[in-house]
């Protein structure tokens, strides 16, 4: 067996779950390998330290601790609750109320918005030829009486392809 095979056996020895064959193989390897012997000694010391330390830990009585906690809770419940001072409400409440009143006054005091209407167009509808210096082009404009839109048409005869 090599050292990699021995490490799990050392941990199993610490837990006390080795078979007789495994225990014999472990003892044979540890006698021949100083590194595994040091690891075995270190594990033994650590296990002894943990067992000693765990034995010295004082565990409190759970029933006694529960009774003390319940007594503290009942004592706190019996005390009257502290009243909150009114000063913070006044410090913040009065300025907020004043700001709300000013905002309300500005909102109520402003004039109501009037709907805007477009002025009716004097021109009902017309097709207007626009003056053009070039005899090969023509431009016309149309004004719609309902919407007030102006539509402009332009043609250039010289760019038309023949045929």
Determine the Cα–Cα distance for residues 94 and 115; give it in Å rounded to an integer: 38
DSSP-derived secondary structure letter, 137: E
150 three-class SS: strand
- Among candidates 19, 17, 43, which has minimal Cα distance to 30? 43
Determine the Cα–Cα distance for residues 155 and 129; give it in Å rounded to an integer: 12
Q: What residue spans define the domains of the chain?
A: 3-55, 126-157
The token pair at 15 is: 């837990």
Chain segment 58-90, per-residue pLDDT in tens: 888 889 989 998 888 888 776 766 777 767 767
Chain segment 117-155, per-residue pLDDT in tens: 655 545 444 555 555 455 566 677 777 777 777 777 777
What does pTM read for this prediction?
A: 0.36
44 three-class SS: helix
């Amino acid at each position: 067996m090599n050292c990699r095979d021995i490490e799990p056996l050392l941990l199993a020895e610490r837990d006390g779950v080795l078979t007789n064959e495994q225990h014999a193989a472990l003892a044979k390897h540890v006698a021949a390998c100083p590194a595994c012997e040091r690891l075995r000694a270190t594990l033994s010391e650590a296990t002894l330290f943990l067992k000693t330390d765990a034995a010295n830990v004082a565990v409190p009585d759970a029933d006694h601790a529960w009774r003390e906690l319940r007594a503290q809770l009942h004592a706190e419940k019996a005390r009257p609750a502290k009243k909150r001072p009114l000063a913070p409400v006044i410090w913040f409440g009065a300025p907020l109320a004043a700001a709300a009143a000013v905002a309300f006054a500005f909102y109520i005091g402003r004039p109501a918005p009037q709907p805007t209407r477009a002025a009716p167009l004097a021109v009902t509808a017309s097709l207007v030829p626009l003056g053009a210096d070039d005899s090969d082009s023509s431009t016309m404009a149309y004004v719609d009486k309902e919407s007030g839109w102006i539509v402009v048409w332009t043609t250039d005869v010289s760019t038309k392809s023949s045929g």
